[in-house]
Amino acid sequence: MSFSSPLQCGLIAVVSFLSYLIYQYLNSNTNRQKLPPGPRGLPLVGNVNDFPPADVPEFQHWLMHKDLYGPISSVTVMGSTIVIVHDKKAAHNLLETNAIKTSGRPTNVFANELCGYDSILLCQGYNNTFRDCRKLLHRELGTKVSAAQFRYVQEVEVNRQLVRTLNEPGKWLDHLKTTTAATILKMTYGYNIEQNKPDTLVGLIEKVLRQFSLAAVPMAWPVDLIPVLRYIPESFPGITFKKLARKWRNDVRVSSYTPYRFVQRQMAANSHRPSYVSKLVQQLKSQDNTRTLSRNDEDAIIWTAASLYGAAADTLVISLTAFTMAMILFPKVQRKAQEELDRVIGAGRLPNCEDRDKLPYINAIIKETLRWWPVTPMGFPHSADSDVEYNGHHIPKGAMILPAVWWFLYDPEVYPNPESFDPDRFLSPRNEPGPNMEGFFGYGRRICPGRFFADTSLFLNIAQSLATFNFKRAVDQKGKEFGIDVKPKPGILSYPNEFQFAVSPRSEKHVDLIRRVGQKLPLEPSDAGLLGTETA
């Protein structure tokens, strides 16, 4: 008997799904009493009604669990368990001490298996491929010394940002995005973006990032709730997600292979610029004494390079946007920072990385920016690769673990007046713990490999921006100040809502300084016309 028709395949999938539900229900009843506490679920489907509403940020919704169920709670949906951790010691023990068991990533059928995001380092399981990729990233970015090789690129692009802001102050947030994109793509591929109009490669990658932000939302797609749906033919009524996933999968590959092929052609013509990709290609060819890379080595370079933009671009822009918001809401902080810059640097030059140790308040602003606006309020989810027993709780293999990073950074017992943007909290005599100690950059074997690069980017941008510009509230035609909504948008990343503000040079001396800096910047034409049209 043939089972090739869509109807027959659908019936098989439905029967398989019902059998799966019954098995998971019976199994979950056996283990529920051992799981961390949580709301009582419905038969078969579990806690489908206990997820955050569409307009509520996840961290705010899950925060209610802390008061209702304690520091560690759980929900179960279709037999899959999610553990929410609101205790930083427990998060450290689970994700650092027990990292060998909890460094996996949740199985996301739609995003990973169908859309192909499982090739990106952020989504890879904890396996040999992941470890090989991490080694490459650590070699080039994982220490302060290795990350410093890209400092010149960072300095040049922040200088360009100052010039763009002087010319078009109303586009400050757009300038932040341009600077971040230019820095990361030059560092990764030696690629020069279009500075004054939309860039082809930036547009392609940002489209993929927007798609990822939709694809990766936990339990948001039917196939993540009902995994057997992935076996139903695309032509079956209601299975529209497969066509969408096929398109997004192609976009992922094109956005990853296109810049890599660009570097290959530049290297073949001996016209490449030093970059993460070109250095690794040269090192691995020399190491293996070969003219061509193995498929595994090439894949590792392609996907770690693709991971760099995805991991850094949006997170840096969010942090710098939050910094901008804070300077407007807390003008005394801005003035105090500028007083330090004027005292240490003066108006004759821009602050640079060599000045950093002499600028403690600027460093405190960076820490407070990361604390005040956590980019990933619930962290990036881990999963248990094997059963874990913790404080009498059973965390089953495959369970998703969400560390409540927002709470760790807003706990009033650790950070008094947490809603206030107060850099002095990190200085003597208060010396409150820095956000990097509270999971901001991740945990254990999943800690962000580009954290030193990101830290330098934040320092240069914040120090040079405050040295040359003032940030203040915008006013309407009647002189009334616009309000600012501090609440972030829902999602894995905490994008700020749009807000009105004004940027202006601090003085004519600072205008002259920016113009002098701009005259010294190298002229670098865009490489957009050299990208090619590969479709991987």
Question: What was the pLDDT predicted at 13?
Answer: 55
Amino acid identity for residue 220 in this structure: A
Query: How many whole angstroms separate alpha carbon 23 and alpha carbon 18?
Result: 9
Residues 6+ apart with CB under 8 A from 287: none
Q: Are 350 and 468 in contact (CB under 8 A)?
A: yes
- Largest Cα separation within the chain, whole Å, is 85
pLDDT in tens, 318-374: 999 999 999 999 999 999 999 999 999 999 999 999 999 999 999 999 999 999 999
Q: Are 159 and 182 in contact (CB under 8 A)?
A: no
156-to-129, 198, 456 alpha-carbon distances in Å: 34, 20, 13
**Residue in this structure with the two tokens 């307009």, named with its chain if needed:** 55
- Peptide bond before 412: cis, by omega within 30 degrees of 0? no
Helices 276-288, 295-329: crossing angle, 10 deg rounding: 150
Query: How many whole angstroms separate alpha carbon 38 and alpha carbon 244?
Result: 35
Does this model's pTM top 0.85? My answer is: yes
Which phi and psi angles does 412 have, rounded to 5°? -65, -20
Helices 128-141, 276-288: crossing angle, 10 deg rounding: 110
Which phi and psi angles does 363 have, rounded to 5°? -60, -35
pLDDT in tens, 147-159: 999 999 999 999 9
Query: How many whole angstroms separate alpha carbon 351 and alpha carbon 340?
Result: 11
Helices 295-329, 200-215: crossing angle, 10 deg rounding: 80
Question: What was the pLDDT predicted at 78?
Answer: 79
Summarize the chain as % helix, strand, coil (round to 5).
60, 10, 35
- Positions of the chain with pLDDT lower than 50, given as ranges: 1-7, 29-30, 535-536
Q: Are 363 and 428 in contact (CB under 8 A)?
A: no
**Domains contained in the chain, CATH given:** 6-530 (1.10.630.10)
289: left (phi over 0), alpha (psi -120 to 50) or beta: left
Residues 6+ apart with CB under 8 A from 286: none
Question: What was the pLDDT predicted at 339?
Answer: 98
Q: What one-character DSSP code corresponds to residue 356?
A: G
Question: What was the pLDDT predicted at 326?
Answer: 98
Q: Assign 220 to helix, strand or coil.
A: coil
